[in-house]
């Protein structure tokens, strides 16, 4: 990648650390004595999950689901199911951990699938929320930061599978996807 691919740093490493601390403290309080199962959505949310997980002090387990709806910088509106949970979520308090809530189509789809699994509760924790682009009535119960409708990369978020390794969240230069 070239330096000019990222227009600006939107959320710094320090700020990301603080967001995980704050969310972790709140989640630990809310889920004390419950049967917490963190369900992370591959692949974008894995960096967030690994930092958030270490800020959670109550008992919890983790599992992964994989779906995709993106092609380049645009959602296709059609969600493809790629990987199911390994742990049976029956009786669990599920907290879906997502990198970003954009149109909401992905999370609406996931919530729908999980709704049939006898979970005790299902909530959503999204690192980033882009409310301007919402096309479903999904709301996140925990949000790290609300951001404007710009395509962002880094800290797990990709453009065509690249830029996930950036330690911050930055705005991708349109020059990259208009190339
Ligand atoms: P939604 O279904 O439109 O809410 O999209 C959610 C998924 O789209 C996220 O889990 C991301 O994988 C991807 N996504 C949405 N906005 C961005 C972005 O700005 N950068 C990278 N990926 C994004
Ligand atoms: Mg994702």
- At 125-158, the pLDDT tens digits run 999 999 999 999 999 999 999 999 999 999 999 9
Instruction: Evaluate: CB of 73 within 6 angstroms of ligand 1.
Output: no
Give the model's pLDDT for residue 71.
66
Q: Where do the domains of the chain lie?
A: 13-147
Joined together, the tokens standing for residue 95 give 């907290």
CATH topology (fold) of 13-147 = Rossmann fold (3.40.50)
Mutation test of ligand 1: which of 40, 46, 70, 128 has the most ligand atoms closer than 8 Å to its C-beta?
Answer: 70
Whether the pLDDT of residue 70 is over 70: the answer is: no
* Closest C-alpha among 50, 163, 58, 160 to residue 97: 50
Q: What is the distance in A from the centroid of ligand 2 to the CA of 107? A: 9
Catalytic residues: 102
CA–CA dist 89, 80 (Å, integer):
21
Pure H helices in the chain = 13-30, 46-53, 105-114, 174-177
pLDDT at position 97: 98
Average pLDDT over residues 63-83: 82
| Ligand 1 mean position, distance from CA 101 (Å) | 6
For residue 78, pLDDT over 90 is answered with no
Q: Which of 63, 25, 60, 22 has its CA nearest to residue 45?
A: 63
pLDDT computed for residue 174 by the predictor: 95
User: Ligand 1 atom 15: the closest Cα is on which residue?
Assistant: 102
Task: For residue 73, report the phi and psi dihedrals to the nearest 5 degrees.
Answer: -105, 5
Paired tokens of 21: 């601390």
Mean pLDDT of 4-32: 98
């Amino acid at each position: 990648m070239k330096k000019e691919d990222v227009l600006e740093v939107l959320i710094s490493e320090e700020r990301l650390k603080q967001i995980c601390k704050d969310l972790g403290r709140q989640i630990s309080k809310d889920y004390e004595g419950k049967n917490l199962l963190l369900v992370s959505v591959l692949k974008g949310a894995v960096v967030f999950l690994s930092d958030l997980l270490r800020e959670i002090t109550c008992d919890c387990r983790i599992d992964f689901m994989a779906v995709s709806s993106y092609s380049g910088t645009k959602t296709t509106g059609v969600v493809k199911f790629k990987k199911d949970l390994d742990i049976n979520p029956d009786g669990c308090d599920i907290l879906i951990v997502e990198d970003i809530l954009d149109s909401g189509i992905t999370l609406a789809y996931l919530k729908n699938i999980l709704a049939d699994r006898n979970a005790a509760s299902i909530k959503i924790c999204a690192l980033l929320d882009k409310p301007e682009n919402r096309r479903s009535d999904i709301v996140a119960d925990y949000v790290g930061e609300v951001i404007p409708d710009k395509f962002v990369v880094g800290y797990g978020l990709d453009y065509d599978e690249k830029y996930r390794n950036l330690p911050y969240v930055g705005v991708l230069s349109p020059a990259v996807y208009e190339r």
